[in-house]
Amino acid sequence: MAMPLYSQQDSIYIEKKDGALKKYWNSFIHGNVDRTFERKIDMSYAVAPSYTREGSFGVGGMATGLYRLDRKDSIMQPSDITLTGNISINGFYTLTATGNNHFKGNRSRLSYSLEFARKTLNFWGVSYEGCAMNPLSEYTRQQIRWESDYVYKLSKQFYIGAAFNLNYADLSDIKDISYLEGQKQSYFFTGLGISLQYDTRDFILNPKRGVYIMFKEVIYPEFLGSFNKTLFSTNFIFDIYQKVWSGGIIAGDIYGQFNKKNTPWPLREELGSGGFRMRGYYGGRYIDCNQLTAQVELRQHIFNRLGCVAWIGTGSVFPELKKFNCKNILPNYGLGLRIEFKHNVNARIDYGFGKDTGGFVFNFAEAF
C-alpha cells in the first residue's frame, strides 16, 4: 500500500508557515496604512544586511510599532516603539529600544531609550585637541544606557518634565592608555533632571509643522555614581518646521550640550554619534565636554512612499565655552532617501559629508 508523502500535521504546518509569511509580506508592503484605530499595536518587521561606519558589515533586525492608549481619540498623535538589533563581522553588536508613549487625555508623555552595546571602535582620544593630534588607535567599549523623560502638559504648548538616566560604560583592549588623559576605564552614572519644553509639532517622528524648544538640566550626584564629584549637564534644542511648497518641508535644528570641564569620557559629546547631527562623521572622531551644532534640511515628498532630503550644517566640540574656537568649526552636508515604512514614519538612508570624511547613516524616523 502506498504511503502518503505528507501527514496531516505536515499540511497544517505548511499552511501556518505560508500564513505567517503572507502576514509578514502584507505588513511590509502595506505597513504605511494607519491601523492604530483597529489594532492594539500596529507592528512591522524587517531583517536585512546592515552597514555602519563604526561596525562595518553585518546583519540587522528591526521591529517598529504604532499604538494608541485611547483609540477613540483621533486628535492625539499615536505612541510609538522601535526595537533594533545589529551584529557585525567585527564583533560589534547593539540592542536598542526607543519610544514615545502618549498617555490617555493627551496631558503627559514618556520618552525613553535603552541601549546595550559592545563595540570595537577607532579611537583618537577624549578631547578635541587629542583627537586632532593623536594617530588612529583602537579600543572596545561595552555600554548600558537608559535615558527617559516624563513630561506633563501645563498648557496647550508648554510642558514641564522630569528626567532619569543611567549610564554604565567600560573600555578594554585600549591600544594606548594615554589617550584617556588620566581618566578611568570604567564609570557608572545616575542622572536626575528637570526640563521645560515648548512643543507644537504635529508628530514627533516626522514633523511637518511646528516648533520645539527644550531646556534640560541634569545632575549626576556623586553618591549615585562612581565619579568623585557631582556633575551638572545642560541641554538645549531649538527645532522648527515649515511647509515651503507642495510636498516640501524646510526644517531647522540648533543643538547644544554643555558639561563641566574634565567631565568623564562616557558623558562627553561625540560628534556624529547616533546619526542625528553631523551625519557622516565617524562617531567618536571628535570628542569633548561640550557640543554645539546647527543644521537646515529640505525634505521633499517624491511619489507614493518615497521622498528625499538635502541638508547643510556645521558644528564643533570643545572643552568649555571660553575655549570655543571658530577655527575648529566643522562643515557638514549631505543627501538622503526616505521610504515610508509605517504610517508617517520613514526609514532613512543618508550619506553625509564632512571635513575629510563621509559615510552612510541608516535609521528610522527623521534625524530631528
Strands 186-199 and 158-172: antiparallel
Contact 192, 217 (CB under 8 A): no
pLDDT band, residue 92 (cuts 50/70/90)? confident
Q: How far is CA 235 from the centre of its chain?
A: 16
Range with the largest mean pLDDT of 10-24, 52-66, 306-320:
306-320
Contact 311, 333 (CB under 8 A): yes
* pLDDT on residue 2: 46
pLDDT band, residue 10 (cuts 50/70/90)? low
Q: Name which of 91-95, 169-173, 190-194, 206-210 the model is least confident about.
A: 91-95
% of the chain at pLDDT higher than 90: 74
Q: Say which amino acid occupies 120.
A: T
Report the distance separating Cα 132 and Cα 283, nearest Å: 14
Residue 283 has pLDDT above 70, yes or no: yes
Task: Give the pLDDT confidence of 207-250 residue by residue, as tens digits.
Answer: 999 999 999 999 999 999 999 999 999 999 999 999 999 999 99
Report the distance separating Cα 224 and Cα 167, nearest Å: 11
Report the distance separating Cα 19 and Cα 183, nearest Å: 56
* pLDDT on residue 18: 60
Contact 79, 203 (CB under 8 A): no
Q: Name which of 55-59, 135-139, 271-275 the model is least confident about.
A: 55-59
Kindly report the average pLDDT of the chain as a whole number. Answer: 91
Contact 255, 212 (CB under 8 A): no
* pLDDT on residue 4: 47
Higher pLDDT, 260 or 3: 260
What is the number of other CB atoms lying within 10 angstroms of the CB of residue 36?
Answer: 20
Out of 3.30.930.10, 2.40.160.50, 1.10.150.120, 3.30.300.340, which CATH number does the structure's domain 10-364 have? 2.40.160.50
Report the b/e string of 267-286 with b at 16+ CB within 10 A: bbbbbbbebbbbbbbbbbbb
Residue 80, C-beta contacts closer than 8 angstroms, at least 6 positions apart: 64, 65, 66, 67, 99, 100, 204, 205, 345
Closest among 347, 339, 332 to 301, alpha carbons compared = 339
Report the distance separating Cα 275 and Cα 1, nearest Å: 65
